[in-house]
Structure formats: structure tokens, C-alpha cells
Chains A and B, each alone.
Chain A
Amino acid sequence: SYVLTQPPSVSVAPGKTARITCGGNNIGSKSVHWYQQKPGQAPVLVIYYDSDRPSGIPERFSGSNSGNTATLTISRVEAGDEADYYCQVWDSSRGVFGGGTKLTVL
């Protein structure tokens, strides 16, 4: 089965740029979607089809996907961005999630 690998944690100072990676075999050939989950809440879609943003998601959130790595980039990080982030793809007619990355704002 297809495996998505994320770093367990990423730390960043306020105002800086956070990059969260999602690794998978030839993931560049797939569409990657990203979700933000704050404690006690359901996940929220923040990036879909690699780099598109749903309405209401700040422009500070962006995405890219190439080769074996997809990346979620959060610019000008704010305290409110502290959350768990999950990548997701569709493989063999099933959804697959990465293991999640905890973003800590220092």
C-alpha cells in the first residue's frame, strides 16, 4: 500500500516561513491535499490539488508537489497556525493520509 511520510514536528518563529513535507513514491504524479487540525476539532482542508486554496484560507498557505515530495508552505506564520497538518492522496481507489506533522510556533 502507498505510504506518505511526514516529519513528526516542525518548529518556527512567528513571522517566519514554515515548510512541511510529505514524501511518497512518485508523489508528483498524484494530487495532494492538506488538512489543518487544531486540538479537539475536526480537520479543515487548507490546500487541494497540490496548490489550490479553498475560500477562506489565507494566501499565506501554499503548496507544491514534484518528484517524491509535496510541500505545504506557510508564510508569515502566526500563533493561530499552530496545529497538526496532514497530507492526503488517493491511491488504488482509497484515501491515504500521512502520519501528520505538529507545527509549533515558538
Chain B
Amino acid sequence: QVTLKESGPVLVKPTETLTLTCTVSGFSLSNARMGVSWIRQPPGKALEWLAHIFSNDEKSYSTSLKSRLTISKDTSKSQVVLTMTNMDPVDTATYYCARILDTAMVDYWGQGTLVTVSS
């Protein structure tokens, strides 16, 4: 059974750095067919792809947010970590981690975690 679970703070202050952890089970981060992505969704708005990482450590970032994002993985812990610097209230959103299959679709999603940016 494939599961992904996000963890991290629910509230961060403007200018702070957000660190989110995705813990996966039911598959290995070393599987060549699979990767993990972070996707966010501001309240009432559309999905936005933030970053992803594959088994060979290939990474890619949203063009507009690239300077603020870092993604990494610890295969032994089955965890993928996303950091986003200089948080702003417009970054308030539900953050999802999700499994990418065959560099194509997302076939499994975490439940999401709502992060609010406010002083």
C-alpha cells in the first residue's frame, strides 16, 4: 500500500524558512520509475508544481520559485524534504507531496498540509 505523508509547521512568520518533510511507504525512493514531487494549492486556487526529485537524484524546480526552493531525499529514511526560504503571506497554501510515475503522471498523493504565513 503506497502512502505519502507530509509533516511540518502549520504556521510560519514572514521571511522565515519553511521545511516540509514527506515520508513515504509502500515504495522505495531508489525505484528508477518513481520520483516525488511537491505541489501546492493556495486556498480556492489551482495546483502549482513546485519541485521534484528522482531516484538518481535528478531535481527540478518551478521556474518562478527556483531561487527559494531546495529539495533533497534520504532514501534510507524514505523521506523527501523541501525547504522554501523567505516565506510570504502569498505562500499560504496546502502543500502536497506526491509520487511521480515514469516522469509523467502523479499516481499517489499525500493528504496535504496547510501552511499559513502570518506574523
Contact = CB atoms under 8 A, between A and B. Distances in A.
A90 B35 CA distance: 13
Interface of B: 37, 39, 46-49, 52, 60-63, 96, 100, 103-107, 109-112
A94 B62 contact: yes
A106 interface: no
Give the interface residue-count category, chain A.
20 to 34
Interface string A92-105: 01111111100000
Main secondary structure of the interface of B (DSSP, over half): strand
B106 A33 contact: yes
Given A94-B49, A97-B48, A45 B60 contact: no
A54 interface: yes
A27 to B, nearest CB: 14
Interface of A: 1, 31, 33, 35, 37, 42-45, 48-49, 54, 86, 88, 90, 93-100
Contact of B106 (A35, A96, A99): A35
B104 A49 contact: yes
A43 B105 contact: no
A48 B62 contact: no
Contact of A100 (B37, B47, B52, B105): B47
Contacts of A44: 109
Contacts of B63: 1, 94
A48 B47 contact: no
Contact of B49 (A33, A43, A54, A96): A96
A37 B41 CA distance: 11
Nearest to A96: B49
Contact of A48 (B37, B60, B104, B111): B104
B105 A48 contact: yes
